[in-house]
Amino acid sequence: MAKKKLSELYARLCLCTVFRKVTEKPLFKDFEQYCIAENPNEKRKAYAAFVERIYEMGGCLTESVSRLVAEDENVYVKSVAQGKKADKNVETAARNELSAFALFGALTRKDFAEDMGEEAEILPDFSVNEADMHALYSERLQNLHKYGYGIFSSRCMFRLSDEKEIEPIVSADKTKMTQFIGYEAERKKVVENTRAFIENRPAANVLLCGDAGTGKSSTVKAVANEFFSEGVRLIELRKDQLRYLPNVMAKVSGNPLKFIIFIDDLSFNKNNDDFSMLKAALEGSASATAENAVIYATSNRRHIVKESFGDREGDDVHRNDTLQETLSLSERFGLTVLFSKPDKKLFLSIVHELAKRNGVTMDEKELDVQAEAFALRKGSRSARCAEQFINSLL
């Protein structure tokens, strides 16, 4: 009976069309190898490979299948995301395929043991749980603005590869807003702007500028983490990738999620070709913007464009117009947040809080003296300097 059950299920999975890419994943390929194996030892090896794959994915077959289905980018989910009514045949096929995935996710060691004529106890085991695959998927479809689909469904941060493809950052920054000390007013502005963005209220492109080590980049990443469950995703671009900004905007345009295009440590020479591309995006050029994306950039320079005294003289006939064009790039950001280096009081309060969090026990006066000496050797006070000082004690 179990042999018939597995062969019939395999036949149903072979007919998948809407979720075709799911059945091409390694987990399903391992199951396929099991089903087409022709002798007992081949089946045993295929079963072992199948269970190993489940272990790699967390140990639960049901959850592994649910995750693969949820992350799939297919014609059905795209139609729903665009607010279109899916074709009746597509909808029917999707429902039937989800039923097959539910059966697949419910398979147990006992099913395979009966199929092979083995004692179940000698086979490596894996976990399963109850899941209504169709109900779970329907719930995701109704909340695509929070969950997303495809590569954006389970990751928060992405980058643009050298092949100009958007790819997940595997070891993404996990910084949370609760980890910060100081600069509450500055971070509040960024959080409130992001909240407006999520709620489809007017939101600005943001420039976080100021001294190094004050937490500008960490703030942007923490905000993305904070609002992940509400549909915010971050895509990081290097300065040399700004020419591909229109491509990125085109790829995310129409997606139900909200995207922060993050440009870290932004600065230009006056003749940099990428200057005009960013300028076009900030000015709302149709080719360089998307309604569901904002630009968050950090810079140690208030005016972003590097300028020399020679530039102020120059040989341009309309020198003042040229000068204003380069200096006004920062003004094109709707919101500019300044992170100044901390004064002595703030620096020491950061040191004390970090010491407390890390279990550093030292007389406060001695801690202050050593912290100030450490900052003097580093050349300035900053939140990063405070963290480095505490790490040196640890």
294 and 354, same structural domain?
no
117, 148, 179: which is the final residue of a domain? 148
Query: Which of 339, 365, 384 is the last residue in one of the domains?
Result: 339
Say whether both 43 and 88 belong to one domain.
yes
- Where among 104, 129, 148 does a domain terminate? 148
Identity at 304, one-letter amino acid code: I
Does one domain contain both 144 and 6?
yes
Contacts of 184 (CB under 8 A, 6+ apart): none
d(CA 145, CA 262): 20
pLDDT for 329: 65
Asked whether the beta carbons of 338 and 209 are under 8 A apart, the reply is: yes
Are 220 and 313 found together in one domain? yes
Do 312 and 176 share a structural domain? yes
- Asked if residue 72 and residue 202 are part of one domain, the reply reads no
CA 359 – CA 65 distance, rounded (Å): 43
Domain total of the chain = 3
For residues 75 and 115, membership in a common domain is answered with yes
CATH number, domain of 279, equals 3.40.50.300
Separation in Å, CA 234 to CA 138, 143, 298: 26, 19, 14
Q: Kindly state whether residues 143 and 281 are assigned to the same domain.
A: no
The whole-number pLDDT of residue 309 equals 42
Indicate if 36 and 134 belong to the same structural domain: yes
For residue 189, what pLDDT is reported? 95
Q: Identify the pLDDT of residue 269.
A: 61
pLDDT class for 355, splitting at 50, 70, 90? Answer: confident
Confidence of residue 150 (pLDDT cuts 50, 70, 90): confident
> Closest by alpha carbon to 215, among 247, 183, 173?
183
Please count the other Cβ atoms lying within 10 Å of the Cβ belonging to residue 170.
7
Question: pLDDT tens for residues 51-71?
Answer: 999 999 999 999 999 999 998
Residue 306 in this model has a pLDDT that exceeds 70? no
| Whether residues 355 and 321 fall in one domain | no
Structure tokens of 34? 């099991």
- pLDDT number for residue 322: 46
Looking only at the bridges linking them, the beta strands covering 206-210 and 293-299 are parallel
Of the pLDDT bands very low, low, confident and very high (cuts 50, 70, 90), residue 273 is low
Residues 100 and 169 in one domain: no
Domain that holds residue 384: 344-393
Q: Residue 60 has what DSSP assignment?
A: B
Identify the DSSP state of 289.
-
Q: Residue 253's pLDDT is what? A: 87
Give the pLDDT band of residue 270 (cuts 50, 70, 90). low
**CA distances (Å), 124 to each of 40, 49, 50, 118, in order?**
16, 11, 10, 12
pLDDT of res. 343? 83
pLDDT in tens, 101-124: 999 999 999 999 999 998 989 999
pLDDT beyond 50 at 187: yes
Tokens of 352: 């004390």
Same domain? 176 vs 275? yes
Q: Residue 186 and residue 198: Cα distance in Å, rounded?
A: 19
